[in-house]
Amino acid sequence: MSTETSKTLEDALAGSGGLDTLLRDLTDRAVQAVPGAVACSVTVRREGRLMTLAGSAGLPSGLDLRQYEHASGPCVAAAEENAEQYAADLERETRWPEYRRYALSVGVRSVLAVPLAVEGETGAAINFYALRPGALDAGRDRARAFAERAGEAIGAALRLERAQASAADVRTALLTRSVIDQAIGILMAQDRISARTAMERLRRVSQQTNVKLRDLCTDLVARVSGAGAGASTGPGSARPQPRGR
């Protein structure tokens, strides 16, 4: 992926409100691009299970879920077998009986599931739904072409999401370390103890009060700085009490 493409996707993610909104827009555009399609969804395997990453407007929520529950259906087969699945008329379809019954009950008559090549993901598909039998016949080539472009875009967007999550984890860790260091410094100054003794005291009080160490330190720092004046004295605001030297 080029730097320019990465920047474009990063800007799109920021401007759209995140990955969910971006991929919802992608599925909406897929419906417009494929003749006969009235709804579209994207299936991706994450953390060992298939899930719907995004769905267009008008997509019945149970269409994909029924497939995951029974491990059977066109999008499951397309993702797991890396092979296109097409049911021109579900009334005549003999595969996927549980899914077929549900799809017909919500008015879906034709389904096309095209495998997606998404870097870093094992098993993905883009799924197109139609209300008339054979409605997707003329759009299969367009669906394949859209799937090729969508696989690259989804892969890039997921990489950016992982990078952003990693950066957020680093920021959280740094903030946590900072507030713990501040709390240690406060106890060292108040009670003239070593950093090791201050840390041991903080951990002991955290265990005794069942309050996370980070929250305990945040409360102590807030109290000393005056920001916590009038705060609750319950377990959520417990702090190490000075001990005689």
**DSSP summary character for residue 102:** H
For residue 78, what pLDDT is reported?
Answer: 94
CB of 86 closer than 8 Å to CB of 136: yes
Q: What is the pLDDT of residue 5?
A: 36
In angstroms, rounded to a whole number, what is the distance separating the alpha carbons of residues 101 and 57? 22
Q: How high is the mean pLDDT in each 10-residue block of the chain (245 residues)?
A: 41 53 84 94 84 84 87 93 95 93 94 86 88 95 90 71 58 70 86 86 86 85 66 37 40
The pLDDT value recorded for residue 237 is: 37
DSSP 61: T
